[in-house]
Amino acid sequence: MTIAVYAGSFDPVTAGHMSVIRQAARLFSHVVVVVARNPDKQTLLTAEERMALIREAVTHHPNVTVAFARGLIVDFARDIGASVLLRGVRGAMDAQFETTLAQNNRALAPELSTLFLPAEAHLAEVSSSGLKARVARGEDVSAFCPPAVAAKLQERLAPTHRSPA
């Protein structure tokens, strides 16, 4: 059984993330989506909220589970017997950053392989921060994230009133 780990802050999970998860679910016997703590990021949603939203979005993928990790992802992957780290890429800038991260992970854990999976082309511009900004402006994000995510963002960020135009 091949276990793959797909880690990120997922604040919140987007349609692009879901595209990567769908691909991974077809490729690997078990995929663990890891909500990772990134001390450099200020998150809107708690880790528990992010995990719950991902769990709801992956219910139709029986080989996908969700977990939380505080430390290095390579240590988490080793602890669960994973052999692959998954990284989603949207474009050239992502690829450059992700390649550096993969090289660092390989130096720490040479037994783990990193696989880059691009999201579907029409989702290349979708980001968690972009979703939050759109909702804050009062825009509909339902095409860019799971329904529960759109509802949660609407609850947290939607303008409470609109000024007259």
* 132 is a catalytic site residue: no
Listed range (69-73, 89-93, 133-137) with the worst mean pLDDT:
89-93
- The structure tokens 């139709």 sit at 60
Does residue 55 carry a catalytic annotation?
no
Q: What's the predicted TM-score (pTM) here?
A: 0.91
Q: What's the pLDDT score for residue 114?
A: 97
How far apart CA 21 and CA 119 sit, in angstroms, is 9
Q: How high is the pLDDT of residue 1? A: 84
The class (CATH top level) of 3-121 is alpha beta
Catalytic residue list contains 90: yes
Residues at the binding site are: 9-10, 17, 41, 73, 87-90, 98, 123-129
Residue 106 annotated as catalytic? no
Q: Please report, in range form, the residues annotated as the binding site for substrate.
A: 9, 41, 73, 87
Q: What is the mean pLDDT of residues 130-144?
A: 93
Cβ within 8 Å of residue 51, ≥6 positions away: 35, 66, 67, 68
pLDDT of residue 162: 47
Of the two residues 91 and 11, the one the predictor is more confident about is: 11
Annotated binding-site ranges for ATP: 9-10, 17, 88-90, 98, 123-129
Q: Which residue has the higher pLDDT, 81 or 92?
A: 81
Average pLDDT for the chain: 92
